[in-house]
Amino acid sequence: MKIVMAAAECAPFVKAGGLADVMGALPKALVEIGCEVTVVLPKYSLIPQEYQKEFTLGEEVEVPFKGQNHRCRTFSYELKGVDYIFVENDAYYDRDLIYRQPDDHTRFAFFSRAVLAVVENQRAQTDILHLHDWHTALIPFLMKKDPRYAAMNSSIKTILTIHNLQFQGNSPKSVLTEEYEMDGAYYEDGTAEWKGYFNILKTGILFADQVTTVSPTYREEILTARYGEGLETLLQQKGESLVGILNGLDTEFYNPATDLVIEMEYDETSMEGKAVNKRAVQKRFNLPVRGDIPLLAIVSRLTKQKGMDVLQELLPKLLKERDVQFILLGSGDEEVAQLFKNLAAEFPEKAAVYIGFDEDLAHLLYAGADLFLMPSHFEPCGLSQLISMRYGTVPVANKTGGLKDTVVEYDTAAKTGNGFLSDFSANESFEAALERALALYQNPEHWEIIKRNGMQRDSSWKRAAEIYAEAYNAIAER
């Protein structure tokens, strides 16, 4: 089975969020079970030179865009059995950021056409075209409705994965007609229109042969008005062709036994290193070095989705009344960031904040913290809870999406479970879940069991890759 994937970001080359982690791990897992995988990406100037200097110049591709044919160089690179193709266009991809550019719709419209140009060059070797999020979601529509791709459409099936339904690529009608060069009638008849916008993700959902999302619970949630972001009726119509496949974790990259950026490696059979990492975290953030005090951490985008409002309400009281420490690593909403800075200033002996992102520091926090907080209002899958458990850090999470699928409430009688869960109700508030965790932290016997339960959980990509392979085979045979 020959798979071509396309996405806006991919670890280790360029990363803004969880999509990059998935794109860095899933193709490798598919190769390990016998698939051939090519990943197509923009050639961002942000890609580290250590990779770019190893790129090989490939074939030029001719990209039809805005009434002209643009000849673009491509570059290839192989990593762990996966072939990567990078499409060059400095006018669009020589930027300081992957996203949040005023011409993002133009940049990814061009990339969508470029992906099709790359696939056209190797059509005979491609069975499945796997697209990710709105940036490439219009490709199934282009394949089925643009006659230039008729031959490709007859031989290649498409699958679209929704990593976060909140981001739909809403744009003016002119983006459909001018950037994608498609007939405005598709907007007028409602095919591509939604609430006065050209909705790229909605259009992709309509035309993809298969739609997946990143956890079974999130799949069920987005069929409801609460989580469906206005597209729940459309998603309900997809029926069995909408599948929830739980993300895995790159267990080679996230492995406390071999992680060279943490203070000391360890595993579930020898946990002394975790205490060493805790001391290193406390020193790094100028907090009192104490092994007896519970260290709470969060690594997150600073957005309402991630439950920052919950923490802003909970933490001042917690830090005032309880003997705990708290550290935040994240970036996002500047107003939210300032509130956490104020909290650290008010409780300098108990709280610390790092605004921004540092991959090595994130690993150290996962390794050194006792508790990891995830009060997300919704979470399609979430990787942080998987990483924290891998490092023996106990998650306290809201019961939504992939958090519900991966975090299991600890049972003191059966000694099963790997964390603590909330549903924001009066009986199961996030504060109550955290209180249960802090109470058990005082019981070393139970606490060691919880940590080891999390570390022993199989979070690898192997099972997810097998389910994707089954989906590829199913749509290829239709």
Cα–Cα dist 321/436, whole Å:
16
Name, in order, each residue with C-beta under 8 angstroms of 447's C-beta and a sequence gap of 6 or more.
Answer: 394, 440, 441
In order, the DSSP letters of 67-128 are TEEEEE-EEEEEETTEEEEEE--HHHH-SS-SS--TTHHHHHHHHHHHHHHHHHHTGGG-SE
Cα–Cα dist 101/103, whole Å:
5
The burial class, CB within 10 Å (0-12 / 13-18 / 19+), for 121 is: middle
Q: What is the chain's Cα-based Rg? A: 23
The burial class, CB within 10 Å (0-12 / 13-18 / 19+), for 280 is: middle
Amino acid at 360: D
**Is 15 annotated among the ligand-binding residues?**
yes
Placement of tokens 């802090």 in the chain: 438
Cα–Cα dist 351/327, whole Å:
6
Quote the tokens at residue 125: 């070797």
Amino acid at 73: R
Cα–Cα dist 408/421, whole Å:
7
The CA distances from residue 213 to 131, 180, 209, 362, 371, in Å, are 12, 25, 14, 26, 28
Whether the link from the prior residue into 172 is cis, omega within 30° of 0, is no
Give the DSSP H or E segment for 171.
strand 170-171
In a 13 Å sphere around the CA of 274, the CA atoms on its Cβ side amount to: 25
Residues of each annotated binding site for ADP-alpha-D-glucose: 15
Residues of each annotated binding site: 15
